[in-house]
Structure 1
Amino acid sequence: MMTGYIVEGKSDCEKVMNVVPDAHFVILNGVSFKQKERRAIEEAISICHEVFILTDPDEAGDMIAKKIMDTYPGIQRIKIDPSRAKNSRESRCRYGVEYCSDQYLRETLPGAN
């Protein structure tokens, strides 16, 4: 069986696919957590041996991770080190899974090769 990851967006999914190509993904498209996302999470739970929340290390990522864990207590969040997920551009910093190095994700994610 495969590992499932709940991510915020397509770029996060594409980044994680570099190191876990055979994983199952639920893409939230931001911090949306409506019926469509709940159905996708429930499908992932039924077809994966484990499902993890992999959201950005920021306030929005913390908020959506909490909502998911409150609704599905069996799902754990993989915490990403903000210093390893940082992108500085034009005097402002952004944090996201998509900015992590492949090496860092290989070291951090279950099921990574």
Structure 2
Amino acid sequence: MAGKIIANLLVLGGGALVKAVAQAYKQAIVNANKSGVAHETVQNLAHKTSKSMTLHEARMILGVAENTPWEEVLQKYDKMFQKNAEMGTFYLQSKVHRAKECLEAAKRAGG
């Protein structure tokens, strides 16, 4: 008899807990929508799952500004690519290469 009462209390308590968590989650979504955080989070998630690199990220990786001459971009790329080939990692070398590709694509599109 006592076991049955304890089981009922656990089921009721578990149900109340699930209901409270669901309500808190719904309220968090409402608050996020009001503050714009939800939209920003979706945009960040879309960017993170995207395989493309932004121009800003590419410039940061190569350490160049928007108005840096293309020859200087290539010099920085060559230096960084070679340094990572000798004593860096394949991952960093790949990031440097992708950054150059991204800037090349922007250069072709821009004229």
TM-score range, shorter chain: under 0.3
Q: Which has the higher strand share?
A: 1
TM-score normalised to structure 1 length: 0.26
- Structure possessing the higher relative contact order (Cα contacts under 8 Å, 6 or more residues apart): 1
Larger Rg: 2
Q: Which has the higher helix share?
A: 2
TM-score normalised to structure 2 length: 0.27
